[in-house]
Amino acid sequence: MLSDLREQLKPTSTMRVYDAVSEAGIDVSDWHNISSNRSPAQNPNYCYRWAFQGNDRVLVCLWYDELDFLANGVEYRGNARAEYKTYDERANDQRAPSLKQRLKTWAARALQMDVVVKIAHWEDRLVRVALVQSKSLVRRDDERAAADFRLLDSEPWHLVQYDMQTGAFLLRRGPKPLHETLKDIVVFGEEEGAASGAPSQAFPEITPDSYGVGVADQFIGNETPERTAVSAFVWGRSAKVRQVVLARSKGCCEHCGRLGFLKVNGEIYIETHHVVPLSEEGADTPGNVIALCPEHHREAHFGSEHEALKASFLQMLVAVGA
């Protein structure tokens, strides 16, 4: 039985990534935004990615040789975030420009895959899997196997587990069991519209000490800050926007999932961050503001990987429809 399944799932065709994404039920219209001398399937902004998301589902590309064929089904254990860190560290240690760029590219793709898996976790999305295999099983440390063969599995998969702290995840072939689906309906159905950041009812009035949503950020409580004369422009920030973002976050960092700490007044503390700075004409709207733990907020401003974080934040905000 397992041998038959192994043979059934083994990739043998040269299916294009574009076709796999389209057949998985994900919109590919943006692939067509490309110069006329290239086909949409050759769009470099998409055709080399390892994961995709759209509509109510995600598609991840997994190596066939890394599947676990068990007595009760097929599983895949991965950690795209760990891959990102490994490639990024190796890139920083390289002097050869071409190799450094190659490793940086792989790091970016791994980080983007982590975002997609995270979205599947947050929104309980359907998972489709494209299995890939290479002609060559032997490669040097500075090479990544080419996906010479590709197969879109006709069976849906589901995300069993995603560790927000480490990025480790477990995928299992087959639809999500009914008992897990019913459990999620209870959890996620409490606040309809929460995933998109759109409140289902009016928010409470904002006071100098509270947004009224059980979550506070670095601005609340500073209604009478010390005033200092400076010769610079100051961009105003909407308290209403911050209120919407904090309610959307439910007190958790929207990047790593870590719950903020509890303040003495019982509210959860988390920080708000404009992904595209107001000084760079970024919008003061929920679609450009993300809730972050203090560590990732500081890293977003001063970390060496702030550009990669910025790209990850923007992808997350677009995916949740903020």
Q: Which DSSP symbol is given to 249?
A: H
pLDDT, position 266: 67
Residue 82 lies in a domain: yes
* Rg of the chain on CA atoms, in Å: 22
Same domain assignment for residues 182 and 219: no
Supply the pTM of this predicted model: 0.63
320 to each of 102, 114, 119, 215, 232, how far by Cα in Å? 30, 15, 8, 20, 35
Residue 204 lies in a domain: no
**Poorest-pLDDT segment among 164-178, 198-212, 275-289:** 198-212
H or E element, residue 170: strand 169-173
Q: How far apart are CA 172 and CA 175, in angstroms?
A: 8
Range of the domain at 252: 215-224+234-319
Same domain assignment for residues 157 and 284: no
Same domain assignment for residues 6 and 81: yes
Angle formed by the axes of helices 294-302 and 306-319, to 10°? 120
| pLDDT, mean over the chain | 82
Q: Is the pLDDT of residue 180 over 80?
A: no
- The residues pairing with 78 across neighbouring beta strands, listed in sequence order, are 169
Q: Which DSSP symbol is given to 207?
A: B
Confirm if 81 and 167 have CB atoms less than 8 A apart: yes
Same domain assignment for residues 34 and 165: yes
pLDDT, position 204: 76
Residue 229 lies in a domain: no
pLDDT band at residue 72 using 50, 70 and 90 as cut-offs: confident
Number of domain units in the chain: 2
Query: Residue 315 belongs to a domain with what CATH number?
Result: 1.10.30
H or E element, residue 53: strand 51-54
Confirm if 2 and 69 have CB atoms less than 8 A apart: yes
